[in-house]
Copies of this chain bind each other. A is one copy, B any other.
Amino acid sequence: MASLFIKKLERICRKNESLVCVGLDVDMNRIPTFLHDVGEPVLTFNRAIIDATHDLVCAYKLNIAFYEVLGAEGLQQFRKTVDHIPDDVIKIVDAKRGDIGNTARMYAKSCFEYYGGDAVTASPYLGRDSLQPFLDYEEKCTFVLCLTSNPGSKDFQYLSLGGKTLYQLVAENVNRWNEKRNCGLVVGATHPEELKKVREIAPELPFLIPGIGAQGGDVGQTVRFGTDKKGERAIINSSRGIIYASAGKDFADAARAKTKELREAINTWRS
C-alpha cells in the first residue's frame, strides 16, 4: 500500500509530467534589488517564482536556514510562502534536523504542523529513535540524509565498514525502517555511481536529489540511476540554477524558462 505522501507525489509528477523540485533557498543578497523596497521581499520573490513555475514542478523545497537568518520576520515569510504553494504540489521543509527523542518531537511538530511541510529532511547521525518522532507522522515523508552533494560528504559518508560504506548502511537501515512507507533518502546528484548503488538498496523509496545545476550533477545519470523502475520517485532539486536565472525584472519568467528546460532534459532521459 502506497502512503498518502507517495500517492500525492505520484499524482503531481504525472499531472505536471515533472520530477523537478524548485529549491526556494532564497538569499536576500541575491534577489533582484528592486524587491528590497517592498514589504516582504523574500515572500514577494517566492510568490512570483511559484506563480511562474507551479505547473512545471512536482515539489518546492524550502531550506529553513535562509529564513531563520532573517529572524522572526523570515519565518513568517517561510510560512506564507508555503501557504502560497498549490495544495497538490509537494512542500519539503529542508531542515536536516537530528536530535534525541523528546527534542526531535518538537522539530517534527514544527516542520509538519507549524511550517506545513508534506516532507522534511533529517540527519541519520543520532539513529532510529531520533527519527521516530518524524516517522510517527505516517502521512508525511522523512527524507534521511544518505549521501550529500558537498565535497565534505567524503569525510564520513564514504568511510568503509566491513566492505560497506556508511552511506550504504544508512540506506539499508532507512529502507528497513520504512514500515509505514514514509521514508525517503537524500542522495546527491554529484555522485552518480553511488546514486545507482543506493537505488539498488532501496528500489522503492522516494529520493530527494540535490546537486543538479550550480553544484554540477549530470541530469542524464541522475535520471537513469536515481528514478525507480517506472522512472518515478525521484525529486530532482535545483535551487540557484533556477531562482537566480535573472537578476532583472524578468526573474520569474527566466525561472520558468529554466524550470521548463530542466523538466524537459529530465523527461528526455526518462523516456
In the bound complex, residues from chain B placing their C-beta under 8 Å from that of A149 are 100
Q: Tell me which of B66, B100, B124, B152 contacts A150 (CB under 8 A).
A: B100
Knowing A25-B103, A97-B96, A149-B100, say if A125 contacts B123 (CB, 8 Å). yes
| 9-residue interface stretch from A36-44, A48-56, A126-134 | A126-134
In the bound complex, residues from chain B placing their C-beta under 8 Å from that of A104 are 65
Q: Tell me which of B102, B152, B159 contacts A130 (CB under 8 A).
A: B152
Residue of B nearest to A124 (CB): B156
Q: Tell me which of B69, B103, B125, B152 contacts A128 (CB under 8 A).
A: B152
Knowing A68-B106, A126-B145, say if A173 contacts B155 (CB, 8 Å). yes
A170–B99 CA distance with the chains assembled, in angstroms? 17
**Are B125 and A154 within 8 A (Cβ)?**
no
Knowing A127-B154, A150-B100, A150-B127, say if A71 contacts B75 (CB, 8 Å). yes
Q: How far is the CB of A215 from chain B (nearest CB, A)?
A: 8
**Are B75 and A156 within 8 A (Cβ)?**
no
* Proximity bits, A75-116, B CB within 8 Å = 1, else 0: 110000000000000000000111111111011011000100
A96–B126 CA distance with the chains assembled, in angstroms? 10
**Are A148 and B100 within 8 A (Cβ)?**
yes
A102–B149 CA distance with the chains assembled, in angstroms? 12
19 more A-B residue pairs beyond the given contacts A68-B106, A98-B145, with a C-beta to C-beta distance below 8 A:
A25-B103, A63-B99, A65-B99, A68-B114, A72-B75, A75-B75, A96-B98, A96-B99, A96-B123, A100-B150, A123-B125, A125-B157, A126-B148, A126-B152, A127-B152, A128-B155, A159-B161, A159-B169, A161-B161
